[in-house]
Chains A and B, each alone.
Chain A
Amino acid sequence: MALLELEDVVAYYGAVPALHGISFTVEEGSIVAILGANGAGKTTTLRAISGMVKVGGGLRFGGRSIAGRSTEEVARLGIAHVPEGRGTLSQLTLLENLQMGSCLRHDRRGIDEDLKRIHEHFPWMRQRSGQVAALLSGGEQQMLAIARALMMRPRLLLLDEPSLGLAPTVVQSIFRIIRTINQEQGVTILLVEQNARTALRTADRAYVLEVGTIAVSGTGDELARDESVRRSYLGY
């Protein structure tokens, strides 16, 4: 079943069109990657889903239309969005960052369980819970951002370039975390990436964006094996 459906979505920054009618679906429980060069519209696609830019066309989440809804409404429906730059609440402590993730939930026990699980997974988040998040390294901030998003107990997790600016080994562990979240907690994931090689290895399905339209689509394996796709769109 499709959890997220985009149908001929158009998005504008002021008068400048950034998406020229893109359509794709994200199946429940899958990992979907959107690839493409700088300026292809990857970030805009995520911002369109979260109601951060003006959009036209059809946007459906879990069967209901989310086009034209405010950012906070979309988040409340179960879409967690880790934005460009990771959205770190940098002057707040690590614990407060995580608490902000669950700030709208009322299931106290569930919140405690989720926090405990995150602390077991990332013991350093417990040890440094009173520190302000600004002191974290880039990789740690990315992990905190993902953990904060998980505290929302989302159905869909949007990740904007999780590998940006990180060392290769850190990128590997971030993608390992992404796969774990998907497999163990059943969270559907839509991520945009410039790092095509790693993303294709992780994704069930991938779309290649080129100046605001979808140029190629297929399973991760298909795109990774396709010589012409690799040369013209992914650059390796």
Chain B
Amino acid sequence: MGTDPLLAASVQGVLQQLVFGLATGGIYASLALALILIYRAMEAINFAQGEMATFTTFIAWTLVTQVHLSYWIVFPITVAVAIGGGIAIERIIIRPVERAPILTVVLVTLGLFAVFNGLSGLIWGYTIKTFPTPFPVRPVFIGGVAIGIQDLGLIAVSLVLLLAIYLFFSRTRLGLMMRSSALYPESSRLLGVRVGWMLALGWGLSAGVGAVSGMLIAPITVLDPNLMQAVLLYAFTAAVLGGIESPLGAVVGGLLVGVLLALVGTYVPGLQDLRLVLGFVVIIGVLLFRPGGLVGRAHVTRV
């Protein structure tokens, strides 16, 4: 008895969408992680996170297409520029409002959103650009299923990035100092830690992670000044899904959102164009029914 060719085709289709979902999900997870890095230190969402990433992606685009450097050389350069830029933004723009009410900080990040969006448009224009992909476009066959090498590459880069961040925060002294500064600024100061610089470093790291997500998403969509706006919404969805404070939650949330959007977009008629709305629905749903998120960092306290 042979297998039903229709069934085989649909199973193959689902698997392909699953891999594509994990690939985009990894990117959402990265940007969600960038949001969380700042949220944990300031309890404010950096609404400019996406636009900062778009700006650095344009820098990468210039280096790749105008200066003709290899993508894998441009990659670390762009990350370094982003880290430097993030540190500078914190020191110059955020520091004066560091102790201000959260709403002030949020408004400043909204201002940064407008500034970076405008700058990108001013420098590179609003016409759509293509970002050359660093991965081969042909598929590989795994167990008879055609999987895009690009998708696998995106998953691999996201995994390496997330692992690197995890190791940095859990295994290094600087990572420990940054965590302590974010959670206990006063106590950390008493131990001699320059808490202000730790916060700046957090912004730098966050901008660096954001830059990676921009460089990963641009090759599979198109590049224009609004590149990251939808991505930021999905990243925010991922962060809320993961309980907003938990890095692990953000990763799980990002992958879930990626897979959900890929499957729903393909298999539920009419929802392809409503994916943004779906993001909002998930956010509202989580906040209503499970405000701690799926993973939800357990606050351990002794009473």
Partner of B302, one of A89, A104, A134, A152: A134
Q: Contact between A72 and B195 (Cβ–Cβ < 8 Å)?
A: yes
Q: How far is the CA of A96 from the CA of B189 in the complex (A)?
A: 16
Q: Contact between B194 and A100 (Cβ–Cβ < 8 Å)?
A: no
Q: Contact between B300 and A101 (Cβ–Cβ < 8 Å)?
A: no
Partner of A92, one of B179, B186, B192, B194: B179
Partner of A103, one of B176, B186, B189: B176
Q: Contact between A89 and B183 (Cβ–Cβ < 8 Å)?
A: yes
Given contacts A83-B187, A152-B192, 16 further A-B contacts (CB under 8 A): A70-B189, A72-B189, A72-B192, A75-B189, A80-B191, A87-B184, A87-B187, A89-B180, A91-B300, A92-B180, A96-B176, A96-B180, A100-B177, A104-B192, A134-B302, A135-B300
Q: Contact between B173 and A50 (Cβ–Cβ < 8 Å)?
A: no
The residue in A72, A135, A148 that gathers the most chain B C-beta atoms within 10 A of its C-beta is A72
Question: What mask results when residues 169 to 208 of chain B are scored 1 for a CB within 8 Å of chain A, else 0?
Answer: 0000100110110011011111111110000000000000
Q: How far is the CA of A72 from the CA of B183 in the complex (A)?
A: 16
Question: What mask results when residues 149 to 163 of chain A are scored 1 for a CB within 8 Å of chain B, else 0?
Answer: 000100000000000
Chain A residues proximal to chain B, CB less than 8 Å:
50, 70-72, 75-76, 80-81, 83, 87-92, 96, 99-101, 103-104, 132, 134-137, 148, 152
List A contacts of B184 (CB < 8 A): 87, 89
Q: Contact between A103 and B179 (Cβ–Cβ < 8 Å)?
A: no
List which B267-303 residues lie within 8 A (CB) of chain A: 299-302
List B contacts of A135 (CB < 8 A): 300, 302
Q: Contact between A75 and B192 (Cβ–Cβ < 8 Å)?
A: yes
Q: Contact between A104 and B300 (Cβ–Cβ < 8 Å)?
A: no
Sort A-B residue pairs by CB-CB distance and give the 7 closest, nearest first: A75-B192, A87-B187, A71-B189, A76-B192, A81-B190, A104-B192, A134-B300
> Closest residue to B191 on the A side, CB-wise?
A100
List B contacts of A136 (CB < 8 A): 302
Q: How far is the CA of A91 from the CA of B301 in the complex (A)?
A: 9
Partner of B194, one of A72, A81, A87: A72
Q: How far is the CA of A128 from the CA of B299 in the complex (A)?
A: 18
List A contacts of B191 (CB < 8 A): 75, 80, 100-101, 103-104, 148, 152
Partner of B173, one of A92, A103, A152: A103
Q: How far is the CA of A112 from the CA of B154 in the complex (A)?
A: 41
Given contacts A89-B184, A92-B180, A96-B176, contact A83 B193 (CB under 8 A): no
Q: How far is the CA of A152 from the CA of B299 in the complex (A)?
A: 28
List A contacts of B173 (CB < 8 A): 99, 103
Partner of A104, one of B179, B193, B301: B193
Chain B residues proximal to chain A, CB less than 8 Å:
173, 176-177, 179-180, 183-184, 186-195, 299-302
> Closest residue to A137 on the B side, CB-wise?
B302
> Closest residue to A83 on the B side, CB-wise?
B190
> Closest residue to A136 on the B side, CB-wise?
B302
List A contacts of B179 (CB < 8 A): 92
**Can you identify 24 A-B contacts, CB atoms within 8 angstroms?**
A70-B189, A75-B189, A75-B190, A75-B191, A75-B192, A80-B191, A81-B190, A83-B186, A87-B184, A87-B190, A89-B184, A89-B187, A89-B188, A90-B301, A91-B300, A92-B176, A92-B180, A99-B173, A100-B191, A101-B191, A103-B193, A135-B302, A136-B302, A152-B192
Q: Contact between B302 and A103 (Cβ–Cβ < 8 Å)?
A: no
> Closest residue to B188 on the A side, CB-wise?
A100
Q: Contact between B177 and A103 (Cβ–Cβ < 8 Å)?
A: yes
Q: How far is the CA of A115 from the CA of B173 in the complex (A)?
A: 15
Q: Contact between B176 and A91 (Cβ–Cβ < 8 Å)?
A: no
List B contacts of A76 (CB < 8 A): 192
Q: How far is the CA of A76 from the CA of B194 in the complex (A)?
A: 10
List A contacts of B193 (CB < 8 A): 72, 100, 103-104
List A contacts of B183 (CB < 8 A): 89, 91-92
Q: How far is the CA of A91 from the CA of B184 in the complex (A)?
A: 10
Q: Contact between B190 and A71 (Cβ–Cβ < 8 Å)?
A: yes
List A contacts of B188 (CB < 8 A): 89, 100
List A contacts of B301 (CB < 8 A): 90, 134
> Closest residue to A104 on the B side, CB-wise?
B192
Q: How far is the CA of A11 from the CA of B176 in the complex (A)?
A: 33
